[in-house]
Amino acid sequence: MRRKNVFLKKKLKYGSSAVVFTVLFIAVVVLFNGVFSALASRYGWYADMTEEAVFTLSDRSKEFVADVGAEIEIIFAEEPDLLMADDDMRYVYTTAKQLEEAVDGVAVKCVNVVKNPAFFKEFYSTSATDITSRSVVVRSGTESKVLTPQSFFVYNEDYVRWGYQGEYRFVSAIMQVTQSETPVVCFTGSHGENVTGAQTLAQLFYDCGFDVREIDLSTEEIDEDCRVLVIFDPVYDFIGIEAEKGSANEIDKIDKFLDGFGGLLVFEDPEHSGNLKNLNEFLREWGISYRPDVTVRDLSHSLSTDGFTVFTEYQSDDTLGGSFYSDLNSLDTQPKAVVSKASPIDILWEEGGDLSGSRKVSAMLKSFDGAELVENGGTRERGAYNVLTMSLETRIIDNDKYYSYVMAVGSPTFASNNFLVSNAYGNRDIIYATMKFVGRDGILADIDMKPFDDYTLTMTTKQSNAMTAEMALILPVIAAAAGVVILVRRRRS
């Protein structure tokens, strides 16, 4: 009888130990998971397995922000745990935390706007400023910029979230509040330019860190910090040698600006091009010639039923025009570049233009072969026509090369809101490529938007098997080790 009681006692002892161990082990696992999840949420411990590396900060963004060399605060108006629980703000907060970790001088702060609205009073720049719990403030010194959550994403025509541009938006805001070596872009005025139509293009320059200004060349001089001069859809001609006084000669000012290694972007409308005698005569010196009142139509490669909104063809990297967007040429599928009611642009020479023979001219975009030219409602001829060209002048000073360029576009529609905002088209990338050539290291053309098209994990089979093995073995190994310890202790007891 005593032997049986002893046996039962040992069985109860060991059984109780097993139950206690099981309960404790489960509790430890749950506690570990909770603690790790909290730390991961707070410090951004995530493995980015998305194809576009949406959650990974690019080296280029780190370089941009590091080069600024200023103290920068990124302020969120909500608590960290709530930001991470928000489908949109999780992306934004993760990027901000990565910037903080990667770049000295960047600090991320979270202040609940509901609990502490007074903190945000200094950031209300106008009566229209609205700071909500999903707003983000970028501050450096006394300068600040309030960003909306929508500005970090790209949406399609149906307002469906299409891609993430958080790096681009943060770096743009940082450049704007630090104002470090801000280049200037000037849009000409007083010639009936389409100011409304140019707003999207102006915003693009602004987002890329440019100081955007309007200039009346007949009365003002071009700022010495100006890198790009934009002529957008003028109706009336520019003053040339007929000016009563030299200070009013607009063509001469443009010429001197390009002599100083500037860049000129010209967007002419076929309907108004015939009015621009002086401007077009000047452009001929750069090897390009618009055909007034003539438009390109392509019924086989068109976005519209009338055939006037044409898809264009990229040029190869071995051409001057194609070399500007070599990154686009390297893609398996290039985004479509579109222009509507465009004038064909004739190239007067390819190499060796002007007196010194240092100017080259090339097509950047052409219509597809088989397009037709339409004048007064009738078809004139068929072929492939230049709708965007690039003229480049190279000069060598003290063994260094310096460039001036003129980009001519056959229609202002190339920079319209529909084609420039949507990432479905390559128009914005073409403009970016031109900005990039201006020579500013801090231009944002190198920071890509990251699309959400494919949510499939892109791990290799080897990586997947390795991670599966690691996750499958860690807990069993811990459990086995604990079991061995208990077994040894039982035998010794």
Q: 228-281, pLDDT tens digit by residue?
A: 999 999 999 999 999 988 889 999 999 999 999 899 999 999 999 999 999 999
Handedness of CA 457, 458, 460, 466 (dihedral sign): negative
The confidence score (pLDDT) of residue 54 equals: 54
> How far is the C-alpha of 303 from the C-alpha of 63, rounded, in Å?
39
> How far is the C-alpha of 382 from the C-alpha of 299, rounded, in Å?
12
Residue 343 token pair: 């004038």
> How far is the C-alpha of 152 from the C-alpha of 149, rounded, in Å?
6
Q: Which residues contact 371 (CB under 8 A, 6 or more apart)?
A: 296, 297, 298, 301, 310, 382, 383, 384, 385
The confidence score (pLDDT) of residue 157 equals: 60
Each residue's pLDDT tens digit, 346-391: 999 988 877 777 899 999 999 999 999 999 888 889 999 999 999 9
Q: Which residues of the chain have pLDDT under 50?
A: 48-52, 439-442, 454-456
CA–chain centroid gap for 77, Å, is 25
The confidence score (pLDDT) of residue 197 equals: 94
Let me know: does 218 contact 245? Beta carbons within 8 Å.
no
Structure pTM? 0.65
The confidence score (pLDDT) of residue 433 equals: 79
The confidence score (pLDDT) of residue 125 equals: 66
| CATH number attached to the domain at 182-439 | 3.40.50.880
Handedness of CA 176, 178, 180, 184 (dihedral sign): positive
The confidence score (pLDDT) of residue 300 equals: 94
CATH homologous superfamily of 59-174: Glutaredoxin (3.40.30.10)
